[in-house]
Amino acid sequence: EAAAAADKPMVTDPTTGNVVSAPEYGGTLTYVNMLEPASIDPAIVLIASHAIGLVNEKLGIPNWALDRDVHDYRTIWLPESAIIGRLAESWEMPDATTYIFKIRKGVHWHNKAPMNGRELTASDIEYNQHRIWGLGSGFTEPAGNAPLYPYVKNPEGLLNIESVTATDKWTVVFKLKEPVLGTLKDITVQEPNFVLAPEVIEQYGDVTDWRNVVGTGPFELTDYVEGSSITYTKNPDYWGFDEKYPQNRLPYVDEIRALITKDEATVLSLMRTGKADFIGKAGQSQLTSVDAAMSLQRTNPELNLWPFSYFAQTAMTFDNQKAPWNDIRVRQAIQMAIDLETINDTYMQGWADTTPTGPVGRALKEYTTPFEEWPEEIKKTYRYDPAAAEALLDEAGYPRGADGIRFQTVYEHADAFNLDYYQIVMEYLRAIGIGVEVEVKDRTSHLALKRDPEIRQGMLTEVSNRDTPPIGSLSQVYSKSGWNPPNVNDPIYDAMYVAAAAATAVEEQMRLVAEADMYIIEKHWWIVGPRVPLFAVTQPWLIGYNGEAEFGSNDYVFLSRLWIDQELKEAMGH
């Protein structure tokens, strides 16, 4: 409104119909990064994209020009129909195990040694894939990060990519050992498929030193002060154009700065004072509590709040093969002891969705069974009923002692999650006689606990209702997956998972996933909580943003498609 009043040029965003001030070039976009990666080489460590996602590119990218009524990107679930070419101009699938990619001509590496602006070719794609999966070019073993990606493997966890070959300067052929649904999305947009500079890897062995990073993307990485900031400078020769406004070459801003902090109070201060333009899933700086979001809205009503959601960060799990957790009655009792409706009405101020779900996210409606269609016997084990919970614990052999305690346990909390919510949950468990001590763990320590049941003391923080590829969600309790935090070993479920993962038709996979999801729901292998939105926040002068969470597997290159209304920023005293 302020821009229109000042007679600034206006445009209609074709994806939303909103009228905004027209794109303009220049300025610095500053966002907050609360999750500094342990390495910036995506073949070595997960979430390296938080450092190189604006610099290096993948074969594909979500379509920024897609109508937000079709898909709004406010989750991390990405329909395959939303993917368009990036470094790959086009692709075809002549049979169920072959993908042929035509590489875009005219894409150049940054003008920085040792690449010196040379043109990207199919051989660069081949080299990167060989390095990730150990398929050639001197690489015989998968890279360190590769085992975390079950989507390129068959249900037994074996590598499903047979070969990746550059058949000419502009063509790359992927051959699979067997058909796997979703492979196209996995190859085009998932980590760790960023294309890194082969000459850099040959010269230095990896790209763990930021000074050696060279890409083809809209920005160059020009400064990195660990624990402080990351600075990206505009690539003046970038090949890409804005999908919404195809006449506009990207990027819009001259510089992007990521301010690194792990302190939420600092994040709020940066937004209140206008020193940051954006907080959100880019950098994992989104607000995770309703209280923080509402407080910011009260003190700074000019800020734009963007709720989004991609899983429920309110679940708990335990070692399902050890007492007391190996008794389903104990697991049911814990679920039934928690009054999610009251927690939502009070602490969460009505923002949460308390509808019980399984591991597969609500965005994947065709892959799940809605709560209203669950059998009544299962429904009642997800409703608040403390009296029934106490009866189940008595029946399971855990009566209250003289001190009122049935048994003692420890809840080991992941520090990136909302501790206040879990403290409330612990009070509900204490009310039915479970003695709980809370210990807060850092990310590294908590991940170690999830990998190794032997070092756990009791319950762990977990997520549920994931808007991620459904086979990945189901793999979390597959006994052979290598990542099984609930420590489940159920042959019936394993067979269901293998069948769902091996499905060759989408409709068949939808049915099999829904059946496996319901089996998990019935077994209560983890405790589910409400799905509470996270909040991205933008300054009013940051234009072009519509609440998007990410842009393909921890990729935040959409920041290159946003611009600063400089006049409005100055008028507001910044």
The strand pairing partners of 176, in sequence order, are 161
Q: How far apart are CA 474 and CA 521, in angstroms?
A: 12
pLDDT digits (tens, 9 = 90+) for 315-370: 999 999 999 999 999 999 999 999 999 999 999 999 999 999 999 998 888 999 99
Q: How many CB atoms lie within 10 A of CB 45?
A: 18
Give the per-residue pLDDT at 2. Answer: 59
Token pair 């997800």 is at which residue? 382
pLDDT-derived band of residue 60, with 50, 70 and 90 as boundaries?
very high
Residues 6+ apart with CB under 8 A from 356: 371, 374, 379, 382, 521, 528
Q: How far apart are CA 427 and CA 419, in angstroms?
A: 13
Token pair 């590119």 is at which residue? 57
Q: How far apart are CA 13 and CA 538, in angstroms?
A: 17
Give the per-residue pLDDT at 149. Answer: 55
pLDDT digits (tens, 9 = 90+) for 521-543: 999 999 999 999 999 999 999 99
Encoding tokens for residue 425? Answer: 């949950």
Is the pLDDT reported for residue 158 higher than 80?
no
pLDDT digits (tens, 9 = 90+) for 192-205: 789 999 999 999 99
57 with 251: CB under 8 angstroms?
no
Rounded to two decimals, the pTM is: 0.86
* Continuous segment of H or E residues that includes residue 461: strand 459-464
